[in-house]
Amino acid sequence: MRRNVALEEAQDLLLSLADPVGECQLALFDAVGRVLSRDIEAPFNLPPFDKSPLDGYAVRAQDIAQASADNPVVLEVVEEVAAGHTARRKVTTKTAIKVMTGTAIPAGADAVIKFEDVRRAGNICKFFHPVKAGGNIVPAGEDVRKGEVIAARGTTVSPALVGLIAALGYAEVPVFDKVKIAVISTGDELVDSSQKLQPGKIYNSNLPSLVAACLKLGTQITALGNVPDELDAIANIISLGLADADIVITTGGVSVGDYDVVPDALARLGADVIYRGVNMKPGSPAVAAEANGKFVICLSGNPAAALITFELIAVPLIKKKMGLNSYLPARLGAKLGDDFAKASPQRRFLRGRFQVAEGVNRVMLTGEQGNGVLKSLVNCNAYVDVPAGSGRMVAGQDVSVLIVGDVFGR
Amino acid sequence: MRRNVALEEAQDLLLSLADPVGECQLALFDAVGRVLSRDIEAPFNLPPFDKSPLDGYAVRAQDIAQASADNPVVLEVVEEVAAGHTARRKVTTKTAIKVMTGTAIPAGADAVIKFEDVRRAGNICKFFHPVKAGGNIVPAGEDVRKGEVIAARGTTVSPALVGLIAALGYAEVPVFDKVKIAVISTGDELVDSSQKLQPGKIYNSNLPSLVAACLKLGTQITALGNVPDELDAIANIISLGLADADIVITTGGVSVGDYDVVPDALARLGADVIYRGVNMKPGSPAVAAEANGKFVICLSGNPAAALITFELIAVPLIKKKMGLNSYLPARLGAKLGDDFAKASPQRRFLRGRFQVAEGVNRVMLTGEQGNGVLKSLVNCNAYVDVPAGSGRMVAGQDVSVLIVGDVFGR
């Protein structure tokens, strides 16, 4: 067990121990937002055949090589083909076949002339300009070549990818299973919203916010509820969580006070503690343990600290278990938009709103930064990473931010 | 009806006709990702009482005003209070009460001294430095004031907001209903993945990709399937869609060819056509109509054109119906990362990948830009907005982009 590790060490320790969960086959619509567990190869060319990109006439380019506005070339239209149908005849000397957008190019033709560029009377069609061989033909395989990997393992199934996979005739795709997470909050002071608030009590926000965060990630969540600050109760419920979940997340009981019994509960369960304490504010009294290849991620009971350490420590682990190829939040430079008066003897993460503009990126602080203050997390999409030993910070200074939410309103 | 409108005119026409759908009450967990239909007010202060932010001793500041390392002040500890419990006694002259993080400050006390800063033996505690009145006390209402609007109508319910709403004792929240969307593809050439691909046919990608896009937005989707290019069939299925959905989306059949019968189907249904044709490439043959306060959004049958016009025209409409306060994609300046050789007589949207860096934002083109090419949409997160009349474009030139996807891997 390591004590007071750096955030990056906590992340690395967990990631090095984690493998993606199992995989399954899902119908395409059910796979939206899931993560591919295998590379997807194209079983045939896209388009599967040479096709026309427009409504027009399929011709032999050499037949109209001499066409001009003054000396149009006349061809006989021998057939009309709708999209989804194929020509029964070939294009031979001095003939043309009418094709629609998406129609397979009839045999014998090597170019298409746009509908609007010809004049037609009955079966006779006048062409007023030449065309290169291959003109207005989309060759088979232009979009995707047979055998090409169109999406790699670890890719999230997006709408465009669903379209591409469907175009290749797949009805199902291999994706990783949902990661199973159990969430537990601890604390005698917490009550749920069905109860009246007695003096000294507060409503439980950790369980709902972490369940919501896990749901947003697309995991399968079990909310195991709140337990009092008692060793037996906490050990039992963590054990219950480990029976089914890949990851158990707890809040509270990890500090060094008289009622902080979560570490004792982990010891009783025989879990290997990976680290105890992370060198950051908020959220420093964080603990992680492993038991039989499963993880127990124990977060501070302060609501903001819990969500911030969830984002920085648990989310990368969850994303690796989900099978994603990229786990860590993006890091960028920015100008700080506000003053922050407090010194930071310890490394500190400030809640902010990151904005991209031309030339200069800016991060505005979102309000009170106390360990318990949730309000400043509501509009937060980035954490300002303030190095240990920093003094007062002033608007306009350069800072480093981690992107943890939506920047462009999407 | 207007013809060949600008994209912004198409957006404005639709948005001006659209109101959000109805509302419902949902349990907090079910509301994650949904949109608030009313402002949420705090029914009480957060924290509800003056609380201690740390484990320590609640005292009267005046009692230890003279304390120093050399001359510690001695107080008697008269009670110990755990979090979630309240003191039965008051702090009176020369006494202290031990409190835990989150404990309500006992009556009589006006400051808290950190556990680590005192020396205790039995019930006797030595204090080595003074404290200001109010020191280490989080006052009631510091996070949220009673009556304050903590989240406005139109806000998406995020994990942090779930926490804040739960902290205020709400078990349910008012959210907008799911927008109901029916998706229809048209085209004799399209077959679904259960069928073998016959010559001239292609697999239907429009229906799956648009269903996926609607699912990703969080709408309630009905995939009505593919219909051939026949007036009766198309009119009937649009009518079926309108019976239940708020918005019917169709692909194909909107150009000016012999088989483009969607506009005739709209006329037969008595729908008011809002516009026909949008001045953009890809996707120009787009049509929109209104029927009894519902919308029919008809997109090109070319797979990439369909998805791009869905994003730029249908998504803003859907977002307004969902109750969101912001509908349109963010617009930013960027440096073009690649050459694009073709001239653009018509306004053109190029698929690209937008990257934020310090000082300069860049957009790389994602590949072939043909109307049918889905592959370049898979990694696309932005469209380069190329004005009509533009010539060849070169790497390094300034362009304007619309953000339509994930930029920071979130």
- Give the three-state DSSP class for A163: helix
Structure tokens given for A376: 């400043």
Mean per-residue pLDDT for B381-410? 95
- pLDDT at B113 > cutoff 70: yes
CA distance B268 to chain A (A): 23
- Cα separation, A205 vs A158, in Å, equals 32
CA distance A71 to chain B (A): 27
- Cα separation, A152 vs B311, in Å, equals 24
Local confidence band at B359 (pLDDT 50, 70, 90 cut-offs): confident
Mean pLDDT value across chain B:
95
Q: For the sheet containing B95-99, what is the strand order?
A: B111-114, B56-59, B95-99, B73-80, B124-127, B118-121
Q: Is B144 on the interface with A (CB under 8 A)?
A: yes
Q: What is the pLDDT of residue B1?
A: 86
Local confidence band at B399 (pLDDT 50, 70, 90 cut-offs): very high
Q: What is the pLDDT of residue B371?
A: 87
Mean per-residue pLDDT for B276-302? 96
SS3 content of chain A, % helix, strand, coil (to 5): 20, 30, 45
Residue type, B249: I
Mean per-residue pLDDT for A356-368? 89
Mean per-residue pLDDT for A290-311? 96
- Cα separation, A135 vs A112, in Å, equals 6
Q: What is the pLDDT of residue A64?
A: 97
Structure tokens given for A227: 């337990």
Set of chain B residues whose Cβ sits within 8 Å of the Cβ of A201: 84
Residue of B nearest to A202 (CA): B167
Q: What is the pLDDT of residue A409?
A: 80
Among B136, B189, B217, the strongest candidate for a mutation testing the A interface, having the largest count of A CBs within 10 A, is B189
DSSP A9-72: HHHHHHHHH-----EEEEEGGGGTT-BBSS-EE-SS-BSSS-B-SSSEEEE-GGGGTT--SSS-
Q: Which of A167, A203, A326 sits opposite B202 (nearest CB)?
A: A167
Interchain pair A330, B166: CB under 8 A = no
- Cα separation, A22 vs A175, in Å, equals 9
Question: Which sign does the torsion angle of CA B104, B107, B110, B111 carry?
Answer: negative
Residue of A nearest to B29 (CA): A212
Interchain pair A378, B201: CB under 8 A = no
Residue type, B49: F
pTM for this predicted structure: 0.95
Set of chain A residues whose Cβ sits within 8 Å of the Cβ of B326: 409
Among B103, B172, B183, B205, the strongest candidate for a mutation testing the A interface, having the largest count of A CBs within 10 A, is B205
Listed in sequence order, the DSSP H helices in B261-314 are 262-268, 303-309
Mean pLDDT value across chain A:
95
Q: Which of A317, A318, A312, A316 is nearest to A300 (CA)?
A: A312
Q: Which of residues 269-298 of A touch B (CB under 8 A)?
A: none
Q: What is the pLDDT of residue A175?
A: 98
Per-residue pLDDT reduced to its tens digit, B228-247: 999 999 999 999 999 999 99
Residue type, A254: V
- pLDDT at B218 > cutoff 70: yes
- pLDDT at A44 > cutoff 70: yes
Q: Which of B237, B221, B256, B231 is nearest to B185 (CA)?
A: B237
Set of chain A residues whose Cβ sits within 8 Å of the Cβ of B354: none
Listed in sequence order, the DSSP H helices in B282-370 are 303-309, 315-322
Measured at the CA of B227, the angle between CA A57 and CA B260, to 5 degrees, comes to: 40
Local confidence band at A83 (pLDDT 50, 70, 90 cut-offs): confident
Please name each of the domains of chain A with its CATH number: 2-22+177-322 (3.40.980.10), 25-45+151-176 (3.90.105.10), 56-127 (2.170.190.11), 331-403 (2.40.340.10)
Exposure b/e, A311-339, CB count within 10 A at least 16 = b? bbbbbbbbbbbbbbeebbbbebebbbbbe
Local confidence band at A260 (pLDDT 50, 70, 90 cut-offs): confident
- Residue labelled with tokens 């009806």: B1
Task: Please count the other Cβ atoms lying within 10 Å of the Cβ belonging to residue B77.
Answer: 16
Among B25, B142, B162, the strongest candidate for a mutation testing the A interface, having the largest count of A CBs within 10 A, is B162
Q: Is A101 on the interface with B (CB under 8 A)?
A: yes
Q: What is the pLDDT of residue B101?
A: 86
Interhelix angle B315-322/B7-17, rounded to 10 degrees, is 20
Per-residue pLDDT reduced to its tens digit, B80-107: 998 789 999 999 999 999 999 889 999 9
Residue of A nearest to B42 (CA): A375
Q: What is the pLDDT of residue B215?
A: 97
Question: Do residues B252 and B301 lie in contact, with contact meaning Cβ atoms separated by under 8 Å?
Answer: yes
Mean per-residue pLDDT for A1-22? 97
Q: What is the pLDDT of residue B255?
A: 81
Set of chain A residues whose Cβ sits within 8 Å of the Cβ of B318: none
Residue of B nearest to A44 (CA): B197
Query: β-pairing, B118-121 with B95-99?
Result: unpaired
Question: Do residues B384 and B363 lie in contact, with contact meaning Cβ atoms separated by under 8 Å?
Answer: yes
Q: What is the pLDDT of residue B57?
A: 97
Mean per-residue pLDDT for B149-174? 97
Mean per-residue pLDDT for B193-197? 89
Per-residue pLDDT reduced to its tens digit, A144-169: 999 999 999 999 999 999 999 999 99
| Cα distances (Å, whole numbers) of residue B112 to A299, B53, B97 | 25, 9, 9
Mean per-residue pLDDT for A296-304? 96
Q: What is the pLDDT of residue B410?
A: 58
- Cα separation, B97 vs B108, in Å, equals 10
Burial of A207 (0-12, 13-18, 19+ CB in 10 A): buried
Q: What is the pLDDT of residue A93?
A: 96
- Cα separation, B124 vs B116, in Å, equals 15
Interchain pair B143, A375: CB under 8 A = yes
Q: Is B159 on the interface with A (CB under 8 A)?
A: yes
CA distance B313 to chain A (A): 15
Interchain pair A104, B53: CB under 8 A = no
- pLDDT at A259 > cutoff 80: no
Q: Which of B162, B356, B358 sits opposite A209 (nearest CB)?
A: B162
Task: Please count the other Cβ atoms lying within 10 Å of the Cβ belonging to residue B341.
Answer: 8
- pLDDT at B172 > cutoff 90: yes
CA distance B273 to chain A (A): 24
- Cα separation, A381 vs A194, in Å, equals 31
- Residue labelled with tokens 């993945």: B193
Q: Which of residues 78-97 of B touch A (CB under 8 A)?
A: 81-86
Interhelix angle A7-17/A315-322, rounded to 10 degrees, is 20
Q: Is B27 on the interface with A (CB under 8 A)?
A: no
Per-residue pLDDT reduced to its tens digit, A219-243: 999 999 999 999 999 999 999 999 9
Local confidence band at A410 (pLDDT 50, 70, 90 cut-offs): low
